[in-house]
Every structure is written in C-alpha cells, then in structure tokens.
Amino acid sequence: MKSKFCLGDKISASVKKLSPYTPGEQPSDSGWVKLNTNELPYPPSPRVREAVIEAMGEGGERLRLYPDPSSAELRRAAADYYGLGAEYAFAANGSDDALNLAVRAFSDSRLKIATIDPSYSLYPVLAKMQGSEILQIPFGEGLKIPFEKIFSCGANIFFFTNPNAPTGKGFGLDAVAEICENFPGMVLVDEAYAPFARETAVPLVKKYENLIVAGTSSKGWGLAGMRVGWAFARPSVIEVLDRVRDSYNLDRLAQAAGAAALKDAAYHLECVGKVVAERAETEKFFDSIGWNYVKSSSNFILFEPRRDSAPPSPETAASLFEFLRSQKILLRYFPKDRSVNKSIRLTVGTPEQMKAFRAAALAWKKGK
C-alpha cells in the first residue's frame, strides 16, 4: 500500500513558526542611488582582483578543486590584522555564518537566547531555527544598556551588536567587559560596523573565555558580494565552532579575496576615513534642518524626518521614504518595528550620492 506523504507533517515545529529574515531591497535595474543596505560605497582593494584571478588558476584550473577546508590563509590574515595568533581566529561565510554556528554550538530547545531591542533582526530567526526562546530586552531611556536585566535574564547566549543596528549607536569596551564579567553565558559581540567606530573588542577574547567577537568584510572592506567573515575567541571556543561548521564553509575565491582585503590595511582605512568624514557632513546637514538623529558610530545614520512643525511620525517617515524611492534614491524603512518606525536608516555613501540625497530630502521638506 502506497504511503501518503504530507510535507506539512514533516516540517519541524520551530520552522513552522519561523518568519524569515527580510533583507534590504536589491534593485536589478541601473540608475539607483543605493543607500539602504550599508555596503561600502567604494570597491574593494585592487589586491582583491589580483588574488581572485590567481586563486582561479590558469583558465580556471583550480576551480575544479575543493578549497582549503580550514581557510588557513584567511584566518592568518584576520589574526594579523587584529594582532592575535591564528589560533584565536575563525573563518566564516560572512559574519552571519559565524553567528549561526555559535547558536548551533551553544544553544538548543532547552536554552534561551537574549538580545537588546532594537537590534539586528536576524537574531530571533537564528534562535527560532535552533528551537530556542528569544528574549528581546528593551534599551533603557536614551539607548542605555539595561545591564541588570541582561545579567539576570537566564539566557545561555547574549547577542550584543556594537555599534548597534539599526540605531548606529556605539558603546565602549567597558560595556563589553562588564557584560562578559557578569553575564553567565556566551557573549556574542557582532562587530559588523566596528570599523567605523575605530574600536574593537577583539583583544578582550584573551581575557574572557565566554566572549566571541564576529566581524565581516561586507561593510568596511567592500566585499558584501563575496560573503567573507570571521570570528575571534579563545582557542577552546574556536575548537567548538570548528566542530559545527560545514566542511567547506568558504569557497576558494572568497578565501583569497578576504585575505587580500585584510592585508591591504592602508586602503581599508582610507575608505573608512572617507565614510566617517561624509557621516559627519550628513549629521551637520540634519542639524541645519532640525531633524533628530542618533549620533552614529557606524556607516549609517538613523534619523527622524519632519515636515513643517509636525512631530515625527510613521506616516511622515513613510512619505519621505516613498518620495526618495520615486527619485530612485533607496533608503531603509522599518514600518513594522514600533521602536524605530518614525525613523529612516540612511547608509553613508559617496559625496556625490549624499549630495543627491540632501537635495531630494530638502525638496520633500519644502513640499516640492
């Protein structure tokens, strides 16, 4: 007798309840001023192209071979950049991969995962995929860290985005140290935007065994299209992450590109400097027109648009977002997140891109 198959009966209970992460829009046509997904507005180091061509081999000969399963060169390059030994480094398919593997290694359906709210919206997805309960602890007044609530929440993992997304606010290393010393679980510091704060918690992994610091080449190194990331932790923690990673979690070209980008520190710092300078100019613009914003330590600014004397509102934010979109200027709006639905997130682009944004924003403000 033929058995009756029902797909719905085979899907895990946790996946049935899961709403997938919603990424920023990626237009397929040209002509957009794309300021919505926090990519670096400059190409990667020229060394990247050379390294990728070399990694392919003559006529692409090396592409038939599996890559180095340990990504040893990338681990060494990341460790050298941050001033640690390679035994402290882990190579990942973007920082999301490192975060996902940490959840896989240190949580299950019996354990809880905590984060601050608002924060990166992937964290609840990762928790639910593992069957873990997610605790979203609201910021205090003025985006103050609710330390005592974090310490007593009973979670096994605490995600801490620094600088925070989507607000852009940065927190000093003293805050990271205080969490590591008082939270009785694994502390996952997501430093996707740390290059623009010019401060990193990576050296603290030598002091705290419960600390994992994840980074990415997508924001500060111009490699969002390659998916290259890393993490740092004590060697004992790295060994655990290696147990749960995929056999070949980074392809040959990504490994070569990431290592080359990390080795060209001068180019990286030059690009970061341009973004930081343009960020300051944009904050001056918001000051001049009376729009509130969160002082940013990142490569984006979260701001509240206003028109006339009306207070900020979700309707006003949506109006500016749609107006800019009609001008082919794309920003990021989070209408379903009540903590930030009066705001719009603006990626800091090139001077030319930011000039276009400012002109369009002023036109909207004046009702044109």
Do 158 and 64 reside in the same domain of the chain? Answer: yes
Do 115 and 146 reside in the same domain of the chain? Answer: yes
- Measured between alpha carbons, how far is 253 from 181 in angstroms, rounded to an integer? 39
CATH number, position 86: 3.40.640.10
| 3 occurs within a structural domain | no
- Measured between alpha carbons, how far is 26 from 36 in angstroms, rounded to an integer? 9
| 217 occurs within a structural domain | yes
- Measured between alpha carbons, how far is 186 from 178 in angstroms, rounded to an integer? 13
Quick one: pLDDT at residue 337? 87
The residue out of 240, 264, 288 marking a domain boundary is 264
Q: Which residue has the tokens 């004046």?
A: 366
Quick one: pLDDT at residue 309? 84
Do 21 and 147 reside in the same domain of the chain? Answer: no
Do 230 and 131 reside in the same domain of the chain? Answer: yes
The residue out of 249, 264, 279 marking a domain boundary is 264
CA angle, 197 then 198 then 201, to 5°:
90
Q: Which residue has the tokens 């001008």?
A: 327
Judge residue 248's burial from the number of C-beta atoms within 10 Å of its C-beta, 0-12 exposed, 13-18 middle, 19 or more buried: middle
pLDDT band at residue 367, thresholds of 50, 70 and 90? confident
| 2 occurs within a structural domain | no
Q: Note the pLDDT tens digit of each residue in 81-118.
A: 999 999 999 999 999 999 999 999 999 999 999 999 99
The residue out of 264, 288, 305 marking a domain boundary is 264
- Measured between alpha carbons, how far is 85 from 231 in angstroms, rounded to an integer? 13
Q: Note the pLDDT tens digit of each residue in 218-227.
A: 999 999 999 9
Quick one: pLDDT at residue 22? 81
- Measured between alpha carbons, how far is 177 from 153 in angstroms, rounded to an integer? 18
Do 334 and 290 reside in the same domain of the chain? Answer: yes
Task: Give the residues across from 72 on adjacent strands.
Answer: none
Cα-based distances in Å from 318 to 31, 67, 344: 22, 46, 8
Model pTM score: 0.94
On the question of pLDDT at 3 being above 80, the answer is: no
pLDDT band at residue 25, thresholds of 50, 70 and 90? confident
Arithmetic mean of pLDDT, 324-342: 94
Do 293 and 235 reside in the same domain of the chain? Answer: no
Do 182 and 326 reside in the same domain of the chain? Answer: no
- Measured between alpha carbons, how far is 347 from 203 in angstroms, rounded to an integer? 28
Arithmetic mean of pLDDT, 255-266: 99
Q: Note the pLDDT tens digit of each residue in 174-214.
A: 999 999 999 999 999 999 999 999 999 999 999 999 999 99
pLDDT band at residue 24, thresholds of 50, 70 and 90? confident
* Host domain of residue 94: 46-264
Do 65 and 107 reside in the same domain of the chain? Answer: yes
pLDDT band at residue 18, thresholds of 50, 70 and 90? confident
Do 276 and 163 reside in the same domain of the chain? Answer: no
Quick one: pLDDT at residue 206? 98
| 4 occurs within a structural domain | no
Arithmetic mean of pLDDT, 234-248: 97
CA-nearest of 126, 119, 127, 174 to 143 is: 119
Which DSSP category does 37 fall into?
A: S
pLDDT band at residue 1, thresholds of 50, 70 and 90? low
Give the distance from CA 341 to its chain's centroid.
Answer: 20
Q: Which residue has the tokens 């990415």?
A: 216
Do 28 and 39 reside in the same domain of the chain? Answer: yes
| 111 occurs within a structural domain | yes
Domain count, the chain: 2
- What DSSP assignment string belongs to 171-234? --HHHHHHHHHH-SSEEEEE-TTGGGTT--SGGGGGT-TTEEEEEEHHHHSS-TTT--EEEE--
CATH number, position 25: 3.90.1150.10
Do 359 and 255 reside in the same domain of the chain? Answer: no
| 6 occurs within a structural domain | no
Do 38 and 96 reside in the same domain of the chain? Answer: no
| 5 occurs within a structural domain | no
